[in-house]
Amino acid sequence: MPRKGQRGAHRPLGAGDDPQGFAALAESYLEALRVRNYSEATIASREHHLREFIHWAEERGLTRPTEVTKPTLERYQRFLFHYRKKNGQPLSFRSQHGCLVPVRALFKWLCRQNLLLANPAADLDLPRAEKRLPRHVLTAAEAERVLAQPDVSNALGLRDRAILETFYSTGMRRMELLGLKLYDLDAERGTIFVRQGKGKKDRMIPMGERAFAWVRRYLEEARPQLALTPDDGTVFLTNVGLAFEANRLTQLVRDYVDRAQIGKTGSCHLFRHTCATLMLENGADIRFIQQQLGHEKLETTQIYAQVSIRMLKEVHTRTHPARLTLAAPDAAQLAGGNEELAAELAEEEAELADERG
């Protein structure tokens, strides 16, 4: 199953020129999304997943949506469940869910257009997507260590420091930073105007004084060396004066995180998680975090309330009765004179010490 952006994603949606076939109807559906002002990123994602389903169906002799039944879609769902990637790993349930949602949306649209009499996907039970916590979040000290990696004595290092500071201070998405223009920066008010963020929504967000100072220094000292004529106003430029491609920016940030040797991995989104978590731990209201990150639903932001363990740790230390006031009790004390229990507790402590190395 080719990933988005790979060569397989450029295959046609389906075979033949049948006006009632999958290819023609799926193209009409995607065009309808454009008319309704869906973002190109959303459309590209749905096109990718529809292409995979359509080719799966055509391999089984199904070339028209009218030939698809609910059992057919359930077979495809089982196929996704048993599918294995090149590294031998299965698709996560979140990925399986993402593969099925565009298929279900296609059939819903076909029914609304009276191109199908009944919707075979209407009662399809989608897999439950896991609510995963961010794998890594930086502490303030770790973030500072990453930020200190660029060599700011040259133009590219100064640019990279400004990029890292912007990610850390604002928590903006990668594509939002790539799209920044000079007129989006308001140093006097200390704000950045994010144009057409996720869901084609604009928002105004604050950025700290230190981050603005690094951006200002980059604009004054480094950007004039990188900019081409005519200048389209893109804030962050590559060494050849062009806007960054998403993958190149990802690799740039990842390299600095790896170079810091903090035992954690990540890239642009790592700073988004870090920004939100540290602000929450320092007392920011979660609704302000929601506005800062541009989340449509508060539930999306609440994941950071689970990541911000420091406040929970402080509450636990203040309120839990099993506090350590004197020397740590040994296994025999904990066992209360029970020799068998003492031996078992001692073994548990030894095993835990071995696991910790």
pLDDT per position as a tens digit, 91-121:
988 889 999 999 999 999 999 999 999 999 9
For 333-356, letters b (16+ CB in 10 Å) and e give eebeeeeeebeebeeeeeeeeeee
Instruction: State whether 102 and 158 are in the same domain.
Output: no
Instruction: With a cut of 60, say whether residue 270 has pLDDT above it.
Output: yes
Instruction: State whether 170 and 244 are in the same domain.
Output: yes
In a domain, 229, yes or no: yes
Between 311 and 67, where is the model more confident? 67
Instruction: State whether 98 and 152 are in the same domain.
Output: no
| pLDDT reported for residue 247 | 92
Q: Is 304 an active-site residue?
A: yes
Instruction: State whether 162 and 272 are in the same domain.
Output: yes
Instruction: State whether 169 and 300 are in the same domain.
Output: yes
Amino acid at 202: D
Q: Any idea which residue has 């200002």 for tokens?
A: 216
| pLDDT reported for residue 131 | 63
The whole-number average pLDDT for the span 268-294 is 88
Domain CATH number, residue 268 = 1.10.443.10
In a domain, 353, yes or no: no
Strand partners, 192: 185, 205
Instruction: With a cut of 80, say whether residue 325 has pLDDT above it.
Output: no
In a domain, 193, yes or no: yes
The whole-number average pLDDT for the span 65-82 is 95
The whole-number average pLDDT for the span 245-257 is 94
Instruction: With a cut of 90, say whether residue 141 has pLDDT above it.
Output: yes
Instruction: With a cut of 80, say whether residue 339 has pLDDT above it.
Output: no
Among 290, 311, 332, residue at a domain's last position:
311
| pLDDT reported for residue 41 | 82
Q: Which member of 195, 217, 295, 310 is catalytic?
A: 295
Instruction: With a cut of 50, say whether residue 334 has pLDDT above it.
Output: no
| pLDDT reported for residue 296 | 80
Instruction: State whether 172 and 232 are in the same domain.
Output: yes
In a domain, 334, yes or no: no
Instruction: State whether 162 and 291 are in the same domain.
Output: yes
pTM of the complete model:
0.67
| pLDDT reported for residue 158 | 97
Q: Is 76 an active-site residue?
A: no
Among 273, 293, 311, residue at a domain's last position:
311
Instruction: State whether 158 and 39 are in the same domain.
Output: no
Instruction: State whether 295 and 234 are in the same domain.
Output: yes
In a domain, 106, yes or no: yes
In a domain, 336, yes or no: no
Q: Which member of 46, 159, 173, 273 is catalytic?
A: 173
Do the beta carbons of residue 261 and residue 274 sit within 8 Å?
no
**What is the separation of C-alpha 159 from the centre of its chain, rounded to a whole number of angstroms?**
24
Q: State the number of CA atoms in the 13 A half-sphere of 80 facing the CB.
A: 23
Instruction: State whether 28 and 146 are in the same domain.
Output: no
Between 18 and 71, where is the model more confident? 71
pLDDT band at 130 (very low <50, low <70, confident <90, very high): low
Q: Which member of 198, 203, 217, 310 is catalytic?
A: 198
In a domain, 212, yes or no: yes
- What is the residue-averaged pLDDT of the chain? 84
In a domain, 5, yes or no: no
Q: What is the residue-wise DSSP string for 183-200?
A: GGEETTTTEEEE-S-TTS
Q: Give me the domain span that covers residue 55.
A: 12-112
Q: Which member of 70, 108, 203, 269 is catalytic?
A: 269
Instruction: State whether 104 and 63 are in the same domain.
Output: yes
Query: Which stretch of DSSP H or E encloses residue 354?
Result: helix 339-356
Instruction: With a cut of 50, say whether residue 328 has pLDDT above it.
Output: no
Task: Summarize pLDDT for 3-19 with one digit per residue, the tens.
Answer: 554 444 456 777 768 88
What separation in angstroms does the CA of 294 have from each of 196, 201, 222, 274?
Answer: 11, 8, 30, 15
Instruction: State whether 88 and 220 are in the same domain.
Output: no
Number of domains in the chain: 2
Domain CATH number, residue 83 = 1.10.150.130
